Amino acid sequence: MFNTYDVIVVGAGHAGCEAAASAANMGCKTLLVTMSLQNIAQMSCNPAMGGIAKGQIVREIDALGGYSGIVSDKTAIQFKMLNKSKGPAMWSPRVQSDRMRFAEEWRLMLENTPNLDFYQEMVKGLLIKNNKIKGVVTSLGIEIKAKTVVLTNGTFLNGLIHIGEKQFGGGRAGESAAFGITEDLKKVGFEAGRMKTGTPPRVDGRSLDYSKMREEPGDEVPDKFSYSDETKPLIHQKLCHMTYTSLDVHDILREGFDRSPMFNGRIKSIGPRYCPSIEDKINRFADKERHQLFVEPEGWHTVEVYVNGFSTSLPEDIQYKALSSVAGFENVKFFRPGYAIEYDYFPPTQLKHTLETKLVDGLYFAGQINGTTGYEEAASQGLMAGINAALKVKEQEPLILRRDEAYIGVLIDDLITKGTEEPYRMFTSRAEYRTLLRQDNADFRLTPKSFQIGLASEKRMRRMEYKFNESEKMVDFFKETSITPQETNPILEEKESSPMTQSDKMFKVFSRPQIDLNDMLKFEKVQNYIHENNLDKEIIEQAEIQVKYSGYIEKERNNAEKLIRLEDIKIPTNFDYHKIKSMSIEAKQKLSAIRPVTISQASRISGVSPADISVLLIYMGR
């Protein structure tokens, strides 16, 4: 029935879809196995992509040749660039998505991907021989052989759904849990744990009174995610709204605490710290009189609405009573209540930087199985696991992104070096080099790497080179073009910046903190340059960032280069840390368990001090 595949991907959520697409696009014979082909790329929680740091990840996925950015653009109903009041290192794109269209577009893109087959059935076990993956076993007992396997099981591994005092098996509302894989992995020595996530009620938009809420429109001039010319920014956008809880709402919610699985001990695992349930919020922040609720439409043509900020596993009668007391929700009708879900995960310190497991050769983990939360984090891991599985099949060097090269590099390094005991979410604060890792330059950072391994197309590469060269030329134009005090001082005076006494280069004036691009566009020389070279918004914005932040960028690049020197110092695979007498016991234990590949990675392990690293360097003859 089945020939041997190069790559089998188990699970068709965000991680699985990116893994399957990348492996297939790199020329590997790939099989995507899922329990439901109707639910490919389902947005299990909020109908949105991007956000703080997550938007940067989607841009990176796109720059590497993944599909998430293109699908997000094609199915967006609203676009916002968050944090525009801050520096460009903090700008984060986000879209509201049409949930049904999002899944449909993913399915169509995958069906149009060469080398990719589909099969609908539950995978209940793994074929492992001599610590090497050989394939998978389905619930019907069919054995499908493969050279590599990528597990992207999301919340389905032994999934357990909680609503108040009721609990039942499931991987998502209306879908069964997956059994067997955890047990197979434990048999070969993997350590497993449990995590929790949750989702809010979905409600009927026709039952809401939007006049009592604040309108939340998209950007006046919307941008898009993908660097390709395959997508276009939105022309029309859909409104979102915002309302608030109140002390009355909080009192009603507390009535259900004695029946809450979070507080009565039924849920024993840890949920996401940065996306807590509403009951967790009012318990932890008892001094707050209200919490924001974002009222988000699920698509262009549906009346279904997502209540962002009201994630809960309280009994459904309490959910209904509390939400009915929120302004605008007085006559609310539920489509379905919110719920919490517990599922198995595998502490990610059991992985290499490639996302291949240390215990089983050719087996890769991506997404919530590694303890992360969020579509974007999952998709980026799926992409990297798919890429590295394909490279392994081709017997080529793996693709590993450093912390100074991508948020994806920070994410994977954090997971495998530090591990996680709660659902991991990406933030800009996790990246030491966020001035380098901006959303606007992900193509500069990553497209050449992807083109080199055969994933990003030549068209993508040429487009990136054009943008890079033209933005560099524009920076040179600012450095080489002089302006006089007569033409400049009126602008400086208007911006309360000290006047010029003699002619100077545009670069110097543009570098002043009070001066922005709109000021520079008042110069005829700048307008003519843009017009003559037919420059688009992306190129002009890139040149502006290079001028305004050149000092910060240079400083961060120098810091990164110092760290890279430590990345070059490799630690032998079977190094015996216990023979170093002057190293702390904790450091010996952590280093022996995690097995860092470089001195740099060793220095980031919790419990390993600078003194321990010094001793290690001396011992290695450095």
Judge contact between 306 and 238, C-beta under 8 A. no
Residue type, 139: S
Judge contact between 350 and 357, C-beta under 8 A. yes
Asked whether residue 271 is marked as a ligand-binding residue, the answer is yes
Nearest to 374 by CA among 124, 92, 84: 92
Spatial separation of the C-alpha atoms in residues 173 and 169, rounded to whole Å: 10
Per DSSP, what are the bridge partners of residue 96?
48, 78
Asked whether residue 5 is marked as a ligand-binding residue, the answer is no
Asked whether residue 256 is marked as a ligand-binding residue, the answer is no
Asked whether residue 282 is marked as a ligand-binding residue, the answer is yes
End-to-end CA distance of the chain: 56
Asked whether residue 274 is marked as a ligand-binding residue, the answer is yes
Asked whether residue 279 is marked as a ligand-binding residue, the answer is yes
Asked whether residue 273 is marked as a ligand-binding residue, the answer is yes
CB atoms within 10 A of CB 538: 16
Asked whether residue 315 is marked as a ligand-binding residue, the answer is no
Asked whether residue 513 is marked as a ligand-binding residue, the answer is no
Asked whether residue 254 is marked as a ligand-binding residue, the answer is no
Backbone angles phi, psi at 172, to 5 degrees: -170, 160
**Cβ partners under 8 Å of residue 160, min gap 6:** 167, 168, 169, 170, 177, 341, 342, 343
Asked whether residue 283 is marked as a ligand-binding residue, the answer is yes
Angle made by CA atoms 329, 339, 346, in degrees to the nearest 5 = 145
Asked whether residue 141 is marked as a ligand-binding residue, the answer is no
**Cβ partners under 8 Å of residue 618, min gap 6:** none
Asked whether residue 560 is marked as a ligand-binding residue, the answer is no
Asked whether residue 12 is marked as a ligand-binding residue, the answer is yes
**Cβ partners under 8 Å of residue 491, min gap 6:** 515, 519, 522
Q: 3-state secondary structure string, 106-173?
A: HHHHHHCCCCEEEEECCEEEEEEECCEEEEEEECCCCEEEEEEEEECCCCCECCEEEECCEEEECCEC
Indicate the burial class of 619 (C-beta count within 10 angstroms; 0-12, 13-18, 19 or more). middle
Judge contact between 272 and 373, C-beta under 8 A. yes
Cα torsion at 423, 428, 433, 435 (round to 10°)?
160
Residue type, 1: M
| Strand 363-365 relative to strand 143-151, pairing | parallel
Across the chain, how many H-helices and E-strands are there? Answer: 21, 22
Please report, for residues 273, 359, 581, 603, 607, the alpha-carbon distance to residue 577 in angstroms, rounded to integers and kept in the order given. 34, 20, 9, 14, 14
The dihedral of CA 403, 406, 407, 411: what is its sign? negative
Q: Where are the alpha helices (DSSP H) in 425-497?
A: 442-452, 458-480, 485-494
Asked whether residue 277 is marked as a ligand-binding residue, the answer is yes
Binding-site residues for NAD(+), in ranges, read 271-285
Binding-site residues, in ranges, read 11-16, 271-285
Binding-site residues for FAD, in ranges, read 11-16
